[in-house]
Chains A and B, each alone.
Chain A
Amino acid sequence: QKEVEQNSGPLSVPEGAIASLNCTYSDRGSQSFFWYRQYSGKSPELIMSIYSNGDQEDGRFTAQLNKASQYVSLLIRDSQPSDSATYLCAVENRDDKIIFGKGTRLHILP
């Protein structure tokens, strides 16, 4: 079982709609959870961090965490073409390692 799992996509969403990205993790001792955005040929950019169960909102982005289900999600409201990228879920496990999923490619359709 991989430590952090994501659907590779591509996930196609019409412009203006809500994009929903999901991630599961295996280490129940994990405490910190992150979403990174990576444009093609660029480095990962941190967009959201979440540490406790529930929702964390920042502008059009909402991160959701459910530790009992070992599940993290990212919602992007009012999706824009500029949101088209690969979204990487990352988890800090009990050994303080930040482990990444392979990412979900998101394509916003104009």
Chain B
Amino acid sequence: DARVTQTPRHKVTEMGQEVTMRCQPILGHNTVFWYRQTMMQGLELLAYFRNRAPLDDSGMPKDRFSAEMPDATLATLKIQPSEPRDSAVYFCASGATVEAFFGQGTRLTVV
């Protein structure tokens, strides 16, 4: 059963700490998206990659967020330093053509 795998599923951290979220895309998918979901803003696109190259990260606060794909099986999203307003569910999605399939998300709480 092919699926996008995200770790951790839940993360509670103190303000100022570094947070790293990981995503394993579906094998063979060459596009990876990072989204953030909040009640107020809905699903916001933070960054996306194609063939491991970053195509757009204009949705990310550049001073604290960074996204990378060190290899085809791993995408990472880092927040340093974290702030309470970063509390949200972060989703990774992958696709082979134009469709995107979502992982289960990482629920981040910054206190």
Question: Is chain B a partner of chain A in the same complex?
Answer: yes
How many chain B residues touch A (CB < 8 A): the figure is 20
Is A44 in contact with B43, judged by CB distance below 8 angstroms?
Answer: yes
A43 to B105, CA, bound (A): 7
Q: Is the interface of B mostly helix, strand, loop or mixed?
A: strand
Is B55's CB within 8 Å of the partner chain A? yes
Task: Say which residue of A31, A90, A95 sits within 8 Å of B56 (CB atoms).
Answer: A95
Is B100 in contact with A98, judged by CB distance below 8 angstroms?
Answer: yes
Is A101 in contact with B48, judged by CB distance below 8 angstroms?
Answer: no
Is A43 in contact with B42, judged by CB distance below 8 angstroms?
Answer: no
Query: Given that A43-B105, A44-B91, A44-B102 are known contacts, is A101 also in contact with B45, CB under 8 Å in the complex?
Result: no
Is B103 in contact with A100, judged by CB distance below 8 angstroms?
Answer: no
Please, what's the 1-or-0 string for B83-111, where 1 marks a CB less than 8 Å from any CB in chain A? 00000000101000011111111000000
Q: Which residue on chain A has the smallest CB distance to residue B91?
A: A43
Is A15's CB within 8 Å of the partner chain B? no
Q: Which residues of B contact A (CB under 8 A)?
A: 33, 35, 41-43, 45, 48, 50, 55-56, 91, 93, 98-105
Q: Which residues of A contact B (CB under 8 A)?
A: 31-32, 34, 36, 42-46, 49, 88, 90, 92, 95-103
